[in-house]
């Protein structure tokens, strides 16, 4: 497999266009082995959701072994783990799960003190991390190198669970979740709380066992006003089907289904009348109402921002594009959300997240010329005219969007205050919001912020201008239409390239890349995503080569001038150097057992290979460089023999791979920068805090 420079200069490869390679996995009959080589005698489960369901059903704690196939420390631990009869015996009292290279253990709870590997975590039957069951107290607290510490940790977890069971019999917990009793669903864990109730994770009892979110609302807690808001949320979600709006899947009432409750406001009746129900019918039927929606595993945007302090501008643009598309959809139906804030924006996952606008409890129909005076929303994100009890229109949502963008970029909202009184004082001062200068942002981003955060709604940007603003760049959003444009532009680029019209070809390549690059983060199908990344890198490489030909003096000698031409001996050497020689690496590790310092360096180089394999090039380059700093001083004193022969061969390959990665990073950073993009925000080259422990 080639992971560095790919030969694509020949027009025959480019002319073919984009061809997707679909990968399917067929599982034959019989039980699937989820051990991944970590003792098939242990009853491993395949996914975290399955583990959580089984843990709750059997009231067992969970053991999560998080590892990677390329990690040397993981390989060192595995045989000891497999050979331990104590671990195998104790495993019967746990729900056991181990990750694999493709496992999606991206939630923060799986990285309590960092993303190093391997790490072994313990959870209770409700999925809560037992954070204090550790192997060490300094760093890498959840790392284990020998089975005896794992056995001790398993015994500690078991004793704690048994003690909790004893306590539970004598003193029931006051935080016991409400008695959810949905016919078609099993509830697992509490996710949080919304405007009018708690939200739980659940799955279907039969069929595909789809994971969902269930909002549980207690009838006794609702006033008539809150009933109206809940009805509006149900009504809106019933009809709002959009890629960036959370989807309502079902609406159920305890023990039996009913049509929607009979009460509705005149405004709702005129828009979409509810089915009539006899006035003697009980609208709620019992204590709870349930709204079942799609599950978003990445949490909300507020938590996402707090975990990262502030977000890169390119990621803010991506998120804002998605939010703006949902707002455009709402405005086409004269709907104002009225409570836009990061906590009401969900993420589908933490890896390549997509936004889902949620919590429509305060939403209402509000046409272009309609105004309101009733205060609603969250003060920190409310427009000044609403907080000051003035008439307002749907442009209050524009203000909220500006606050969200401001918070995403700078880490806090512009009127952040310790109390509502202090917030009102800041609002009454009538001073314009100042955009901080401690962080560099683009002119388009600054312009949109300033226009969204105009205190006077008459001066604030309107919806049509907002949707057309260059910072949003709707033209290059990843849509089927944009993909068609991208393919057409690249077809023209290839044709001009083949005919020797390099200036025209370069222009078409650059135009096509503006459509292709957003797709590299939008695509969710792994095979398509990888094919798209590879093809995009090929186009970028070719564009840079043409630039070098047209303007050789303007090309940096540290990047493009060192790029080998396709077909050259240097290029072919780099292709061979990019393949990972696993067999030699394993043998080298074995030979380095007696030299700890050298073994550590080789482990680091092997981790670099793993990061290269995953496409995480900046981190791979960092590890390669660190390994070389450790190995090169030791190499001259290495005695002749098999180890030195393999070591020299591997060092040569690692150095070539590092140089190759430098070229890719330099090329992509330069070309993408010209298009207002940044490598650091693309998950194909994303910076990561994960690393492999080497002992």
| pLDDT (tens digit per residue) in 505-518 | 999 998 998 888 88
* Over residues 253-265, mean pLDDT: 41
Q: Where is pLDDT greater, at 581 or 45? A: 45
CA 184/CA 203 separation, integer angstroms: 8
Q: Which of 258, 264, 265 is nearest to 284 (CA)?
A: 258
Q: Which of 585, 670, 676, 571 is nearest to 627 (CA)?
A: 585
CA 329/CA 323 separation, integer angstroms: 10
Q: Where is pLDDT greater, at 262 or 523? A: 523
The Cβ-side half-sphere exposure at 427, using a 13 Å CA radius, reads: 22
Q: Which of 181, 175, 45, 4 is nearest to 564 (CA)?
A: 4
Q: Provide the pLDDT confidence category of residue 578 given band limits of 50, 70 and 90.
A: very low
Among the residue ranges 50-59, 145-154, 363-372, 502-511, the one predicted with the least confidence is 50-59
Q: Provide the pLDDT confidence category of residue 24 given band limits of 50, 70 and 90.
A: very low
Report whether pLDDT(40) > 90: no
In this prediction, residue 282 carries a pLDDT of 33
Q: Provide the pLDDT confidence category of residue 96 given band limits of 50, 70 and 90.
A: very high
CA 565/CA 544 separation, integer angstroms: 11
Report whether pLDDT(353) > 60: yes
Q: Where is pLDDT greater, at 546 or 523? A: 546
Cβ neighbours for 332, distance < 8 A, ≥ 6 positions apart: none
Instruction: Please give the positions annotated as active site.
Output: 339
Task: Show the tokens assigned to 216.
Answer: 């549980």
Among the residue ranges 55-69, 334-348, 440-454, the one predicted with the least confidence is 55-69
Report whether pLDDT(424) > 70: yes
Report whether pLDDT(552) > 80: no
> Do the beta carbons of residue 541 and residue 550 sit within 8 Å?
no
Alpha carbon 133 to chain centroid, angstroms: 28
Report whether pLDDT(118) > 80: yes
**Dihedral sign from CA coordinates of 546, 550, 553, 554:** negative
Among the residue ranges 81-85, 202-206, 469-473, the one predicted with the least confidence is 202-206
* Over residues 144-152, mean pLDDT: 91
Percentage of the chain modeled with pLDDT above 90:
21
Q: Where is pLDDT greater, at 654 or 684? A: 654
Cβ neighbours for 336, distance < 8 A, ≥ 6 positions apart: 330, 363, 364, 365, 366, 394, 396, 397
Task: Show the tokens assigned to 530.
Answer: 């990888």
Instruction: Give the residue ranges of the annotated binding site.
Output: 219
In this prediction, residue 8 carries a pLDDT of 32
Report whether pLDDT(16) > 60: no
In this prediction, residue 409 carries a pLDDT of 93
Cβ neighbours for 290, distance < 8 A, ≥ 6 positions apart: 180, 182, 214, 215, 216, 217, 250, 251, 252, 253, 254
Whole-number mean pLDDT of the chain?
A: 76
In this prediction, residue 659 carries a pLDDT of 82
Q: What is the DSSP letter of 98?
A: E
Q: Which of 295, 315, 308, 349 is nearest to 103 (CA)?
A: 349
Q: 3-state SS of 197-211?
A: EEEEEEEECCCCCCE
In this prediction, residue 166 carries a pLDDT of 54
Residues in the chain: 695
- If 0-12 CB within 10 Å is exposed, 13-18 middle and 19+ buried, where does residue 549 land? exposed
CA 692/CA 695 separation, integer angstroms: 10
Q: Provide the pLDDT confidence category of residue 308 given band limits of 50, 70 and 90.
A: confident
* Over residues 494-501, mean pLDDT: 91
CA 478/CA 318 separation, integer angstroms: 10
Among the residue ranges 56-65, 246-255, 340-349, 668-677, the one predicted with the least confidence is 668-677
Q: Which of 206, 471, 169, 185 is nearest to 320 (CA)?
A: 471
All structural domains of the chain: 1-21+481-695 (no CATH), 44-170 (3.40.30.10), 185-294 (3.30.200.20), 305-472 (1.10.510.10)
In this prediction, residue 590 carries a pLDDT of 81
CA distances to 263, 403, 453 from 450, in Å: 42, 10, 5
Report whether pLDDT(337) > 50: yes
Among the residue ranges 74-78, 348-352, 619-623, 664-668, the one predicted with the least confidence is 664-668
* Over residues 642-666, mean pLDDT: 83
- If 0-12 CB within 10 Å is exposed, 13-18 middle and 19+ buried, where does residue 434 land? exposed
Instruction: Give the residue ranges of the annotated binding site for ATP.
Output: 219
Q: Provide the pLDDT confidence category of residue 165 given band limits of 50, 70 and 90.
A: low
Strand runs (DSSP E) across 9-114, as ranges?
44-45, 62-66, 95-98
* Over residues 122-142, mean pLDDT: 82
Among the residue ranges 230-234, 403-407, 603-607, the one predicted with the least confidence is 230-234
In this prediction, residue 492 carries a pLDDT of 93
Percentage of the chain modeled with pLDDT above 70:
75
The DSSP H or E segment spanning 288 is strand 288-294
Q: Whole-prediction pTM value?
A: 0.55
Q: Provide the pLDDT confidence category of residue 406 given band limits of 50, 70 and 90.
A: very high
Among the residue ranges 4-8, 298-302, 639-643, the one predicted with the least confidence is 4-8
* Over residues 98-110, mean pLDDT: 68
In this prediction, residue 334 carries a pLDDT of 92
Q: Where is pLDDT greater, at 398 or 478? A: 398
Task: Count other Cβ atoms within 10 Å, centred on residue 5.
Answer: 23
Cβ neighbours for 341, distance < 8 A, ≥ 6 positions apart: 302, 377, 378, 380, 381, 400, 403, 404
Q: Provide the pLDDT confidence category of residue 17 given band limits of 50, 70 and 90.
A: very low
Q: Provide the pLDDT confidence category of residue 113 given band limits of 50, 70 and 90.
A: confident
* Over residues 310-314, mean pLDDT: 85
CA 519/CA 477 separation, integer angstroms: 8
CA 419/CA 379 separation, integer angstroms: 10
Conformation bin of residue 43: beta by default, left when phi > 0, alpha when psi is -120 to 50 = beta
CA distances to 201, 296, 347, 443, 600 from 293, in Å: 10, 9, 14, 39, 49
Q: Where is pLDDT greater, at 614 or 341? A: 341
Task: Show the tokens assigned to 584.
Answer: 């030699």
> Do the beta carbons of residue 75 and residue 606 sit within 8 Å?
no
């Amino acid at each position: 497999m080639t992971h560095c420079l790919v030969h694509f200069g020949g027009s025959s490869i480019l002319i073919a266009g984009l061809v997707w390679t679909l990968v399917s996995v067929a599982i034959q009959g019989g039980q699937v082995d989820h051990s991944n080589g970590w003792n098939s005698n242990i009853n491993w489960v395949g996914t975290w959701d399955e583990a959580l369901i089984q843990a709750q059903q059997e009231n067992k704690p969970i053991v999560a072994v998080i590892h990677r196939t390329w990690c040397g420390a993981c390989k060192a631990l595995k045989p000891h783990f497999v050979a331990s009869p104590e671990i195998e015996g104790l495993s019967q009292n746990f729900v056991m799960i181990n990750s694999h290279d493709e496992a999606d253990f991206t939630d923060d709870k799986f990285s309590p003190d960092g993303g190093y590997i391997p790490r072994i975590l313990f959870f209770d039957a409700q999925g809560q991390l037992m954070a204090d069951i550790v192997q060490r107290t300094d760093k890498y607290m959840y790392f284990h190198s020998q089975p005896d510490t794992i056995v001790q940790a398993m015994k500690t977890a078991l004793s704690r669970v048994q003690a909790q069971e004893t306590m539970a019999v004598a003193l029931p917990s006051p935080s016991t979740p409400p008695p959810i009793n949905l016919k078609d669903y099993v509830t697992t864990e509490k996710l949080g709380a919304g405007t009018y109730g708690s939200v739980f994770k659940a799955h279907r009892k039969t069929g595909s066992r789809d994971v969902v979110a269930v909002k549980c609302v207690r009838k006794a807690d609702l006033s008539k006003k809150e009933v109206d808001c809940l009805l509006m949320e149900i009504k809106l979600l019933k009809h709002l089907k959009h890629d960036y709006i959370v989807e309502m899947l079902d609406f159920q009432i305890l023990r039996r289904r009913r049509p929607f409750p009979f009460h509705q406001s005149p405004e709702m009746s005129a828009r979409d009348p509810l089915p009539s129900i006899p006035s003697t019918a009980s609208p709620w039927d019992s204590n709870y109402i349930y709204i079942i929606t799609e599950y978003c595993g990445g949490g909300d945007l507020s938590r996402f921002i707090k975990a990262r302090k502030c977000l890169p501008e390119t990621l803010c643009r991506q998120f804002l594009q998605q939010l703006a598309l949902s707002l455009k959809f709402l405005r086409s139906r004269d709907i104002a959300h009225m409570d836009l804030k990061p906590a009401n924006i969900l993420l589908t996952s933490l890896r390549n997240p997509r936004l889902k606008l949620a919590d429509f409890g305060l939403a209402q129909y509000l046409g272009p010329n309609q105004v309101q005076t009733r205060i609603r929303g969250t003060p920190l994100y409310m427009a000044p005219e609403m907080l000051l009890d003035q008439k307002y229109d749907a442009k209050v949502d524009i203000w909220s969007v500006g606050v969200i963008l401001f918070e995403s970029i700078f880490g806090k909202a512009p009127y952040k205050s310790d109390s509502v009184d202090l917030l009102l004082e800041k609002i009454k001062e009538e001073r314009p919001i100042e955009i901080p200068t401690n962080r560099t942002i683009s002119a388009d981003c600054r312009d949109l912020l300033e226009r969204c955060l105009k205190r006077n709604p008459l001066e604030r940007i309107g919806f049509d201008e907002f949707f057309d603003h260059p910072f949003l760049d709707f033209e290059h959003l990843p849509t089927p239409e944009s993909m068609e444009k991208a393919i057409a532009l690249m077809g023209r680029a290839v044709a001009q390239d083949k005919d020797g019209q390099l200036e025209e070809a370069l222009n078409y390549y650059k135009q096509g890349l503006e459509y292709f690059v957003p797709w590299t983060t939008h695509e969710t199908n792994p095979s398509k995503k990888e094919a798209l990344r590879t093809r995009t890198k090929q186009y970028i490489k070719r564009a840079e080569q043409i630039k070098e030909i047209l303007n050789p003096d303007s090309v940096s000698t540290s990047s493009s001038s060192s790029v080998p031409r396709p077909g050259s001996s240097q290029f072919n050497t780099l292709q061979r150097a990019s393949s990972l020689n696993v067999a030699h690496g394993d043998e080298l590790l074995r030979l380095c057992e007696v030299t700890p310092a050298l073994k550590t360096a080789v482990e680091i180089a092997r981790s670099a290979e793993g990061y290269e394999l995953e496409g995480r090039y900046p981190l791979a380059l960092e590890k390669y460089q660190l390994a070389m700093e450790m190995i090169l001083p030791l190499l001259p004193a290495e005695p002749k023999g098999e180890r030195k022969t393999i070591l020299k061969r591997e060092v040569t390959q690692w150095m070539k791979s590092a140089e190759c990665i430098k070229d890719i990073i330099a090329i992509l950073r330069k070309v993408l920068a010209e298009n207002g993009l940044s490598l650091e925000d693309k998950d194909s080259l994303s910076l990561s805090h994960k690393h492999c422990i080497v002992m």
